[in-house]
Structure formats: structure tokens, C-alpha cells
Amino acid sequence: MSIQSIIAHEQPDNFAFTAENEEKIATILAKYPEGRQASAVMPLLDLAQRQHQNWIPMKAIEHIANRLDMAEIRVLEVASFYTMYNLKPVGKWFLQACTTTPCMLRGADDMVRCIKDKLDISSGQTSECGHFTMLEVECLGACVNAPILQVNDDFYEDLDYQSTAELIEALAADTPPPIGSVIGRQGSEAESGATTLAKEKKTAKAGK
């Protein structure tokens, strides 16, 4: 790895926040005491990423550094530390597949294999069509509904090979299915349905 290998080869010539984001920045900066504006570096990087097709160009890093009176390298350190920030272009659908132990035990490998079969990409790659990028990530914090695939900001849960394939097809057709569990599980209840407080639930329903 070197700096050149973690950042995009082709960089835009300039970067500026949109007027809408400028308003958000004013709100974010107001949260921190005077002289501590550098604390806003992470929210600003996130804004920049959302504004710029889900990746952060170097010009945005420089812009933010300038804005927060930080050294450019300090901003780059933050941006390169967190996997949340993309320093290279990603597809329209950015898939983050959790492969940490609970997801792995519940079949994350099938999910990843399906992505590989359907899109011919492994971790860190973008599909030929350019619409999909996949990244294997560590725990996404939704272990109860494992395995998880995060698509941009949303979680799809309880995936297996078949449902992953359907999800990808739906995404390819630009019709993302409803987020959450693909097997219709509510919240984090057991896969076989609620096992406790079942009576109260019925009563609650009856009460409607």
C-alpha cells in the first residue's frame, strides 16, 4: 500500500460543498467550542462523501483541511483510518458484507459467494457494469439477524445465497426491496417467531 494505491487515480480538479451542505456544515461547526473546529472533521468528510458519489476526492480533503485549519495530512489520516470513508470511486450500490464470526456461522460465506458468482467481484472490487462495489467488513453490529449485507446506508438481514441473488437483481433493476430482514423477521425476534410475551402480543393485537 502506498498513498497512490489507496486513493483514486483520476481526481477531480476542484471540490466545493453545495449550498445545502454548507448549511449543514454551519450546524455541525456550531456544536464545537471556538478553536476546536477540527472535531468536525469526521462529519465533514461524511458530508463530502455523500455529496460526491460516495467517495472522497483529495480536493475535498484539502478543502476540509483548509476549512478546519488542519494540516492536510491530519485529514488524510482520519479518512484513511476509517473504512467508512471511500477514497476511491465506488459503484452506485456499495455492498458491505459482514464476515465476522456470527455472520460467518450463519452463512456469510454463501452471501459473499453469491456476490462473487453474480457480479464477479471480491472484496474491494467494482463490478464491470460499475454499479456494484463490494467490501468485506468487520462486525456491522446486527449479529442477531446475521448474515448482514449493508447496501449504502441500509441493512439487509438474514440473507442466504438465494435471497442475496434476488437482492442483487432487484438492485440492478434499480428497485431496491424494503430494508431489514429478508425473511420478514420483526426487529430482533427469534427466527421462528416470538417465543416470549406471546400472549401480550395477542392481547395487544386484539385490543386494536
Partner 1 sequence: MPKLTVNSVEVEVEAGATVLQACEEAGVEIPRFCYHERLSIAGNCRMCLVDMERAPKPIASCAMPAGDGMVISTETDRVKKAREGVMEFLLVNHPLDCPICDQGGECDLQDQAMGYGFDESRYQENKRAVSEKHMGPLIKTVMTRCIHCTRCVRFSTEVAGTPELGAIGRGESVEITTYLEKTLASELSANIIDLCPVGALTSRPYAFVARPWELTKVESIDVTDAQGSNIRVDARGAQVLRVLPRLNEQVNEEWISDKARYAIDGLRRQRLDHPYLRGADGRLHPASWNDAFDAIAKVMKKARPEQMGAIAGDQVDAEALFALKSLFDRIGSPHIDCRQDGAKINANQRSSYLFNSTIEGIDTADALLIVGSNPRIEAPVMNARIRKRYLNNRIPVAHLGPEADLTYPVNYLGDEIDVLSKIAAGKHPFAKIMKSAKRPMIIVGMGALRRADAGAIQWLLRELSDKVGVVTPDWNGYNVLHTAAGRVAGLDMGFVPGKGGLDVHGMLKAAHAGEMKLVWLLGADEIDTTKLENSFTVYQGHHGDKGATVADVVLPGAAFTEKEGLYVNFEGRVQMTQRATFPPGEAKEDWAIIRALSDRLSFSLPFDSHATVRAALVAAVPHFGDIGDIKPARWVKFGRTGALKSDAVEAGLSQFYMTCAMSRASETMAECYRAADQHSAEMAAE
Residues 177, 167 contacting (CB under 8 angstroms): yes
Q: How far apart are CA 149 and CA 83, in angstroms?
A: 15
Exposed, middle or buried, 178 (CB in 10 Å: 0-12/13-18/19+)? Answer: exposed
Exposed, middle or buried, 168 (CB in 10 Å: 0-12/13-18/19+)? Answer: buried
Closest approach of partner 1 to the CB of residue 75, in Å:
9
Contact between 84 and partner 1 per CB under 8 A: no
Per-residue contact track with partner 1, 64 to 83, x per CB under 8 A? -------xxxx-xx--xx--
Q: In the complex with partner 1, which residue's Cβ is closer, 63 or 106?
A: 63
Nearest-10 crossing angle of helices 41-51, 19-30: 170
Q: In the complex with partner 1, which residue's Cβ is closer, 76 or 149?
A: 76
Contact between 58 and partner 1 per CB under 8 A: yes
Q: In the complex with partner 1, which residue's Cβ is closer, 80 or 165?
A: 80
Q: Total residues at the site for partner 1 (CB under 8 A)?
A: 13
Closest approach of partner 1 to the CB of residue 115, in Å:
23
Residues 145, 150, 154, 157, Cα dihedral to 10°: -20
Q: How far apart are CA 45 and CA 75, in angstroms?
A: 9
Which of the 8 DSSP states describes residue 176?
A: P
List, in sequence order, every residue forming a beta bridge with 151; answer none if it has no partner: 95, 154
Q: In the complex with partner 1, which residue's Cβ is closer, 32 or 82?
A: 82
Contact between 170 and partner 1 per CB under 8 A: no
Per-residue contact track with partner 1, 4 to 33, x per CB under 8 A? --x---------------------------
Contact between 35 and partner 1 per CB under 8 A: no
Residues of this chain that bind partner 1 (CB under 8 A): 1-3, 6, 58, 71-74, 76-77, 80-81
